[in-house]
Structure 1
Amino acid sequence: MTDRSNVILLVFDTLRADALSCYDRAFPVETTAFDRVARRGTVFENAFAVGPWTPPSHGAMFSGRYPSDTGFDGAWPTMPESVPLLAEWFSDRGYRTYGIPGPAKMGSATGLDRGFDEYYEVYEEVAKRPSLDYLRQLVTDPLIRRDFLRLAGAGNDYYSEIKFDRLREWLADAPEPFFAMANLTTVHSPYDPPRPYKRAATPELSRPRFGLAEELLDAPCEFDDPEIRDERLFDAADGADATSIALRYFEDDEYVSDAELDVLREWYAASLRYLDDRLGAFLDWLDRQGLADDTLLVLTSDHGELFGEHGGFYHGDFLYDEVTRVPLVVSGPGVPAGERRTDLASHIDLFATLCDLCGLDAPETDGSSLLGDARRDAVFAAKAPSDERDAEAASEVSEETLREFEVGRKSIRTDEYRFELRSDGEEVLYELPGEAVVSDPDEAVVAPLRERLAATLGESFDGAESATDAEYSAGVERNLRELGYLE
Structure 2
Amino acid sequence: MKVVFLLFDSLNRHALSCYGNKQHLTPNFDRLAERSVQFERHFVGSLPCMPARRDIQTGRLNFLHRGWGPLEPFDHSVADILRSAGVITHLITDHYHYFEDGGAGFHGRYSSWEFIRGQEKDKWQPQFLENEALYKNKYEKNQHDFSTDINSKLPYFINREYLEKNQQFPLAQCFDQGIDFLKKNGNKDQWLLHLELFDPHEPFFAPERFLKNYPEALSGKIFDWPSYGRTDISPSLLNKLRANYSALIDACDHYLGLFLDEMDQQNLWEDTWVILTTDHGLLLGEKEFLGKNRPPFYNEVAHIPLFIAPPNSFNCSPQKSKVLTQTIDIMPTILDIFKQNIPKQVTGYSLLPLMQKYSEKKSRYGCIFGQFGSAINFTDGRYSYFMYPLDPQVGDLYQYTLMPSHMRTFFEVADFKDAQIIKSLPFSQGFPVWRLPVNPDTKANMVKRYPLLDAKTVLFDLDEDPDQRKPLNDLDLEISIRKKIIRLMMENDAPEELFSLYGLELNKINVSST
TM-score (norm 2): 0.67
Q: How many angstroms apart in 1 are the aligned matches of 2:238 and 2:260?
A: 32
The verdict on how the C-alpha distance between 1:352 and 1:199 changes in structure 2, with shifts beyond 3 A counting, is same
- Bigger shift: 259-268 or 186-195? 259-268
C-alpha contact 2:225 2:241 (8 A) present in aligned 1: no
- CA deviations 1:95-135 (Å, max 9, x no partner) are 10111344333347432224201232323899946999xxx
**In the TM superposition, what is the alpha-carbon distance from 1:460 to its structure 2 partner?**
4.2
- CA deviations 1:269-319 (Å, max 9, x no partner) are 111111111011111112223433211101101110101122321123331
Q: How many angstroms apart in 1 are the aligned matches of 2:498 and 2:117?
A: 32
**Going by fraction, where is helix more abundant, 1 or 2?**
1
Which residues in structure 2 correspond to 1:115-194 (within 5 Å)? 115-123=109-117, 128=124, 151-152=164-165, 157=169, 159-174=170-185, 175-194=188-207
Q: How many angstroms apart in 1 are the aligned matches of 2:488 and 2:277?
A: 24
C-alpha contact 1:39 1:337 (8 A) present in aligned 2: no
User: Which SS does the other structure have where 2:324 is aligned?
Assistant: strand
The verdict on how the C-alpha distance between 1:308 and 1:51 changes in structure 2, with shifts beyond 3 A counting, is farther
Letter in 2 for 1:321: N
The verdict on how the C-alpha distance between 1:460 and 1:428 changes in structure 2, with shifts beyond 3 A counting, is farther
**In the TM superposition, what is the alpha-carbon distance from 1:266 to its structure 2 partner?**
2.1
Q: How many angstroms apart in 2 are the aligned matches of 1:351 and 1:104?
A: 22
Identity of aligned residues (%): 23
Verify: 1:339 aligned to 2:331, yes or no.
no
Segments of 5+ residues of structure 1 without an aligned counterpart are 133-146, 207-221, 223-229, 240-244, 386-407, 463-487
> Which residue does 1:389 correspond to in 2?
none
> Which residue does 2:395 correspond to in 1?
none
C-alpha contact 1:47 1:325 (8 A) present in aligned 2: yes
> Which residue does 1:448 correspond to in 2?
480
Verify: 1:329 aligned to 2:320, yes or no.
no
Q: How many angstroms apart in 2 are the aligned matches of 1:204 and 1:9?
A: 31
User: Which SS does the other structure have where 2:199 is aligned?
Assistant: coil
Which residues in structure 2 correspond to 1:88-99 (within 5 Å)? 88-99=80-91
- CA deviations 1:114-167 (Å, max 9, x no partner) are 4201232323899946999xxxxxxxxxxxxxx9998448x663x011111222
Q: How many angstroms apart in 2 are the aligned matches of 1:204 and 1:87?
A: 39
The verdict on how the C-alpha distance between 1:269 and 1:51 changes in structure 2, with shifts beyond 3 A counting, is same
Verify: 1:246 aligned to 2:228, yes or no.
yes
Q: How many angstroms apart in 2 are the aligned matches of 1:23 and 1:460?
A: 39
The verdict on how the C-alpha distance between 1:384 and 1:161 changes in structure 2, with shifts beyond 3 A counting, is same
The verdict on how the C-alpha distance between 1:273 and 1:95 changes in structure 2, with shifts beyond 3 A counting, is same
Provide the aligned C-alpha RMSD in A.
2.9
User: Which SS does the other structure have where 1:265 is aligned?
Assistant: helix
Letter in 2 for 1:377: Y
User: Which SS does the other structure have where 1:281 is aligned?
Assistant: helix
C-alpha contact 1:54 1:106 (8 A) present in aligned 2: no
Letter in 1 for 2:330: L
Letter in 2 for 1:90: L
The verdict on how the C-alpha distance between 1:353 and 1:110 changes in structure 2, with shifts beyond 3 A counting, is same
- Bigger shift: 167-176 or 413-422? 167-176
- CA deviations 1:223-245 (Å, max 9, x no partner) are xxxxxxx5xxx34x134xxxxx3
Q: How many angstroms apart in 2 are the aligned matches of 1:53 and 1:204?
A: 27
> Which residue does 2:461 correspond to in 1?
431
Number of residue pairs matched by the alignment: 379
State the structure with bigger RCO (CA 8 A, min sep 6), 1 or 2: 1
Q: How many angstroms apart in 2 are the aligned matches of 1:350 and 1:103?
A: 19
The verdict on how the C-alpha distance between 1:50 and 1:14 changes in structure 2, with shifts beyond 3 A counting, is same
Q: How many angstroms apart in 1 are the aligned matches of 2:339 and 2:179?
A: 25
> Which residue does 2:4 correspond to in 1?
8
C-alpha contact 2:67 2:372 (8 A) present in aligned 1: yes
C-alpha contact 2:172 2:255 (8 A) present in aligned 1: yes
Segments of 5+ residues of structure 2 without an aligned counterpart are 129-159, 354-360, 392-455, 500-514
Verify: 1:379 aligned to 2:367, yes or no.
yes
Q: How many angstroms apart in 2 are the aligned matches of 1:269 and 1:460?
A: 43
The verdict on how the C-alpha distance between 1:169 and 1:377 changes in structure 2, with shifts beyond 3 A counting, is same
Letter in 2 for 1:431: D
C-alpha contact 2:78 2:335 (8 A) present in aligned 1: no
Verify: 1:36 aligned to 2:13, yes or no.
no
Q: How many angstroms apart in 2 are the aligned matches of 1:32 and 1:259?
A: 28
User: Which SS does the other structure have where 1:61 is aligned?
Assistant: helix
Q: How many angstroms apart in 2 are the aligned matches of 1:52 and 1:324?
A: 9
TM-score (norm 1): 0.71
**In the TM superposition, what is the alpha-carbon distance from 1:455 to its structure 2 partner?**
2.7
